[in-house]
Structure 1
Amino acid sequence: MLFVLVGLWTIGFLLLVTDPKRATTRWVSSIAFTGGSGGLSAVIADNVRPHFLLRGWLTDSVSNFLLHAEYISSLVCYYGLPYTFLMFTLVYHPSYPFWRGKRWAPWILLVPVLISLFMETKPADPIPYGYVAFWATPYILGGIALLFISAWRERNSFLRRSRMLVTTAAAPTLFFALFTLYLLPLFFGLYEWWRYNAYVIAFTLAVILVSSFRYGFLGLQISIQNQKLDYTLRAITSGTSILNHAIKNDVGKIRLFGEKIQSDVQEEGPIDKEALVADIQVIMNASQHIYDMIYRIQGQTQEVELVTEELRPAELLQQCVRMLAPGLARVEVIEQLLYQGTLWGDRAQLTEVVTNVITNALEAMPQGGVLTLRLTETKRNIVMEIKDTGTGMDKRQQKRVFDPFYTTKTGKKMNFGLGLSYCYNIVQKHKGSMSIHSVPGRGTSVFLQFPKKKAPITRRESV
């Protein structure tokens, strides 16, 4: 058990030193410290007390001190492990920042733990097994379920790998501990099976150690300095590329409509002033959008200002289509805008999102096709669907489509592989969701869902 104590406390200390400001780091360190406390209790009972007795150092006062230290360490493990594990899985869940009542969750979940301190125990039992198992079992099983759900729903392959490593390291150990610490003593009177936890914990430590060398584990990486340098370089490159990506799209619109205006002016006959004004307005909107993006996106190493306002998504979709009109010559556009209400969002950022998705749809139909824009509502959400009849994507491509720097457009010099990754982040910042359904040869449907809100929220968010 000395191995368990040293291994878990070392991991907890390293994680805490690496990134103490992150809530996930603090909670996973708490798991390591509470689990290691069980090892400390065993070390006191199996090693320290016999050693002191052999040396003649085990006086009454020393014996009482060691007995109290053993008992307290044991309680920290029994009561603290399920609680810290569940809190970690809650904080680690990607939707946790948007959950209501998250400030009260730690205190509410702590109530059963505190009650355990006042429960009577049987003479031979260290804890009231019946009551503790009553709350510890759903805590541990619920935490394991949250880990698997988080990993399964993660669309970014890099983050999915990280979540799978965390799940692999934590789930088996906590599941095994549920039986050895609580259920086996309660139902079968088997009190010593906790000693086998050392083998499962050794597996956990091996997963953490190997992943720390290769990928990093919850921010812990053996080459920490190299990790920080690599992160900084990626952040700078990503921020610059996103800005270039946004400018590229709007410059393309300005060029297309400029050529259209030039062609209309050179043609003989009267000039359609209304059409000319509409084309000029598109150019003005594109130039304003460039200004907004430069002002708000100053690289991913800085904050992106997310300013929400009341807007009509139907008008936003139609405006984006008008701005891309020159590329729609071979495309039939079907508008099914059943929702005519409003939503609260950042107009500039959502325009960029919709423009990116529609542009991808048009590029997937080089020979023409059908572009369907569908806007509907559910009880809680506003749903945009942008569907094309283009080349589609296979399952491997769909798994990586939201990854930064991943692209299927390898032949284009001005493609950075950041469009959908950026869109995904922006939609998440609006507390929405973005999903893709695609079939090779049949086309792709992109679904953007936004929650209905009654009041505007103006804030700064980092993307």
Structure 2
Amino acid sequence: MLFVLIGLWTIGLLLIVTDPKRMTTRWISSIAFTGGCGGLSAVIADDLFPLFYAKGWLTSNVAPLLTQAEIFSSLTCYYGLPYTFVMFSIVYFPDYPYWSWQRKRWLPYVLLLPPVLSFAFDAPPDAPIPYSYVLFWAVPYILGGIYLLTAGTWKERNSFLRRSRLLTTAAAAPTLFFALFTLYVLPALFGEYEWWRYNPGIIAFTIAVIVGSSFRYGFMGLQISIQNQKLDYTLRAITSGTSILNHAIKNDVGKIRLFGDKIKSDAERGTADPENLMRDVEVILAASQHIYDMIYRIQGQTQEVELVMEEFEPERILRQCLDMLAPETQGVLVEEQYLYRGTMTGDRAQLTEVWTNVLTNAIEAMPGGGKLTVRLSETKRKLVVEIKDSGLGMEKHQLKRVFDPFYTTKSGKKLNFGLGLSYCYTIVMKHKGTMNIHSKPGQGTSVFMQFPRRAAAESRKGASENGQ
């Protein structure tokens, strides 16, 4: 058990030293610490007591101290391991950063209540803990944590992050599932109290996964730092100021040049219509304003994109996006369906960039013409933006990687950074929304972006309250 103690505490220490400010790092380090406490308890009972007795150090003053240390370490493992594991699984889940701040604030304390109440129950004779009560909360904590880790891995769309989640799940889930039986189920139901001695074998597997993956891929910070899992890798890799500004400016400068050439061509031919001219100038002004807005929102090259929440009409923004892309839709039948005509709260500039990117991808997927459908609708709780093309579609392996930073299916094009959908995904998620893509070769592609009707307003309210 000395191996368990040293191995788990070493990993926990390395993780917490590497990135102490990250919530997931703190919780996974807590798992290593509480699990290591079980090893410490066994070391005290099996090694230190005999050693102190043989050396004559087991005096009347020392013996009670060792006993209390053994009990404290044992209870820390029994009560702390399920709690720290379920908390890690919750904060590691992909959607956790976008849950309402009110629930997040109280959740750790609510889940801590059952373990704390365990101290109020007396353990039966020859049993280390009151199993009848502890089983009541420890089993759902561990099984719930395993479910969240597995579901989070399945839910992750970014292939890089999915591999990270898979490694984390492989390291944690089997060990906790085995511990569920050796520490709780077998003692409580069958009176088998010594099965915990087999834990070092499965813990050795966990340590091997962590050490091995940390050298090759990185594990939770050993090479490291892969959480805020939905935003951290994405934001650090693709939302640095230079990357996002390059991408936004590339799109808007292309629009300005396109409409500038159109105005010049019309003027040279003497066919300039005042109404069309005014519309083209408005597109150019809108593109230049969008560049300014994007610059305003980027707070330095490595800082996170800052959302500026305001109320606007999504129908109007979608129409403006289509107007700016009008010269590129030659030969494309554009069908607009605006079933929702109200307002939403969000970052107008960022969502303009998102919808322009998705529309551009749809148009470029139909080089020979086709049908582009833009649909804005609502459900009871969500606003839904659907952009559908009848283009080439994507293969299954391409679809799995569309949200990966710097991955692109348009490698032959100049000034294509492979940032579009990664950026779009990040911004939609920061609005507490979801983004899904359905596509098959030869059947076109549909992009669905759903936004909670109240989530954006709550985000603004929460931000203002936190700033007070």
TM bucket, shorter chain: over 0.9
Alpha-carbon spacing, 1:378–1:96, altered in 2? closer, same or farther (3 Å): same
Equivalent residue, structure 2, for 1:314: 315
Equivalent residue, structure 2, for 1:200: 202
Which of 134, 144, 148 is 1:146 aligned to?
148
Where does structure 1 lack aligned partners over 5 or more consecutive residues? Answer: 224-230
Deviations 1:340-380 (A, max 9, x none): 11110111110100000000011110000000001111111
Equivalent residue, structure 2, for 1:218: 220
Equivalent residue, structure 1, for 2:354: 353
Please give the alpha-carbon distance, in whole angstroms, between the structure 1 residues aligned to 2:219 and 2:36.
19
Equivalent residue, structure 2, for 1:297: 298
Alpha-carbon spacing, 1:299–1:365, altered in 2? closer, same or farther (3 Å): farther
Offset, 1:120:
1.7
TM-score normalized with structure 1 length: 0.94
SS across alignment from 1:176:
helix
SS across alignment from 1:304:
coil
Equivalent residue, structure 2, for 1:227: none
C-alpha contact 1:213 1:222 (8 A) present in aligned 2: no
C-alpha contact 1:386 1:446 (8 A) present in aligned 2: yes
SS across alignment from 2:113:
helix
Offset, 1:215:
1.3
Residues 316-335 of structure 1: matches in 2 within 5 Å? 316-335=317-336
Which of 111, 116, 119 is 1:117 aligned to?
119
Equivalent residue, structure 2, for 1:43: 43
Query: Which one-letter code corresponds to 2:30 in the other structure?
Result: S
Please give the alpha-carbon distance, in whole angstroms, between the structure 2 residues aligned to 1:324 and 1:394.
26
C-alpha contact 1:243 1:299 (8 A) present in aligned 2: no
C-alpha contact 1:41 1:73 (8 A) present in aligned 2: yes
Offset, 1:304:
2.3
SS across alignment from 1:307:
coil
Please give the alpha-carbon distance, in whole angstroms, between the structure 2 residues aligned to 1:378 and 1:120.
52
SS across alignment from 2:104:
coil
Equivalent residue, structure 1, for 2:63: 63
Moved more, 193-202 or 88-97: 88-97
SS across alignment from 1:60:
coil
Query: Which one-letter code corresponds to 2:92 in the other structure?
Result: Y
C-alpha contact 1:30 1:84 (8 A) present in aligned 2: yes
Offset, 1:264:
2.2
C-alpha contact 1:235 1:300 (8 A) present in aligned 2: no
TM-score normalized with structure 2 length: 0.93
Offset, 1:268:
4.5
Q: State the aligned residue count.
A: 454
Please give the alpha-carbon distance, in whole angstroms, between the structure 2 residues aligned to 1:125 and 1:261.
86
Please give the alpha-carbon distance, in whole angstroms, between the structure 1 residues aligned to 2:453 and 2:371.
29
Which of 101, 104, 123 is 1:102 aligned to?
104
Query: Which one-letter code corresponds to 2:71 in the other structure?
Result: Y
Moved more, 390-399 or 237-246: 237-246
C-alpha contact 1:28 1:88 (8 A) present in aligned 2: yes
C-alpha contact 1:371 1:387 (8 A) present in aligned 2: yes
Offset, 1:222:
8.3
C-alpha contact 1:364 1:390 (8 A) present in aligned 2: yes
Tell me, yes or no, if structure 1 residue 72 matches structure 2 residue 72: yes
Please give the alpha-carbon distance, in whole angstroms, between the structure 1 residues aligned to 2:438 and 2:300.
30
Equivalent residue, structure 1, for 2:364: 363
Alpha-carbon spacing, 1:264–1:198, altered in 2? closer, same or farther (3 Å): same
C-alpha contact 1:235 1:299 (8 A) present in aligned 2: no
Please give the alpha-carbon distance, in whole angstroms, between the structure 1 residues aligned to 2:121 and 2:108.
21
SS across alignment from 1:102:
helix
Q: Percent identity between the aligned chains?
A: 70
Alpha-carbon spacing, 1:392–1:250, altered in 2? closer, same or farther (3 Å): same
Moved more, 168-177 or 89-98: 89-98
Please give the alpha-carbon distance, in whole angstroms, between the structure 2 residues aligned to 1:222 and 1:288.
39
C-alpha contact 1:242 1:419 (8 A) present in aligned 2: no
* Stretches of 4+ aligned residues off by more than 4 angstroms: 234-238
Alpha-carbon spacing, 1:310–1:236, altered in 2? closer, same or farther (3 Å): closer
Equivalent residue, structure 2, for 1:409: 410
Moved more, 150-159 or 348-357: 150-159
Please give the alpha-carbon distance, in whole angstroms, between the structure 2 residues aligned to 1:306 and 1:238.
14
Tell me, yes or no, if structure 1 residue 137 matches structure 2 residue 139: yes
C-alpha contact 2:238 2:419 (8 A) present in aligned 1: no
Query: Which one-letter code corresponds to 1:208 in the other structure?
Result: I
Alpha-carbon spacing, 1:284–1:203, altered in 2? closer, same or farther (3 Å): same
Query: Which one-letter code corresponds to 2:329 in the other structure?
Result: L
When the two chains are superposed, the root-mean-square deviation of aligned CA atoms in Å is 2.2
Equivalent residue, structure 2, for 1:394: 395
Offset, 1:245:
1.4
Please give the alpha-carbon distance, in whole angstroms, between the structure 1 residues aligned to 2:265 and 2:224.
61
SS across alignment from 1:240:
helix
SS across alignment from 1:400:
coil
Alpha-carbon spacing, 1:8–1:455, altered in 2? closer, same or farther (3 Å): closer
Offset, 1:263:
2.4
Query: Which one-letter code corresponds to 2:375 in the other structure?
Result: R
Please give the alpha-carbon distance, in whole angstroms, between the structure 2 residues aligned to 1:161 and 1:18.
20
Offset, 1:455:
4.0
Equivalent residue, structure 1, for 2:160: 158
C-alpha contact 2:240 2:303 (8 A) present in aligned 1: no
Offset, 1:104:
0.6
Please give the alpha-carbon distance, in whole angstroms, between the structure 2 residues aligned to 1:81 and 1:19.
21
Please give the alpha-carbon distance, in whole angstroms, between the structure 2 residues aligned to 1:449 and 1:126.
50
C-alpha contact 1:250 1:286 (8 A) present in aligned 2: yes
SS across alignment from 1:89:
helix
Equivalent residue, structure 1, for 2:420: 419
Equivalent residue, structure 1, for 2:338: 337
Equivalent residue, structure 1, for 2:83: 83
Alpha-carbon spacing, 1:384–1:236, altered in 2? closer, same or farther (3 Å): closer
Please give the alpha-carbon distance, in whole angstroms, between the structure 2 residues aligned to 1:186 and 1:11.
30
Offset, 1:404:
0.7
C-alpha contact 1:309 1:347 (8 A) present in aligned 2: yes
Offset, 1:56:
2.0
Residues 167-316 of structure 1: matches in 2 within 5 Å? 167-221=169-223, 235=237, 239-268=241-270, 271-298=272-299, 301-316=302-317
Query: Which one-letter code corresponds to 2:16 in the other structure?
Result: L
Deviations 1:95-137 (A, max 9, x none): 2222231111111111111110010221111100111011000
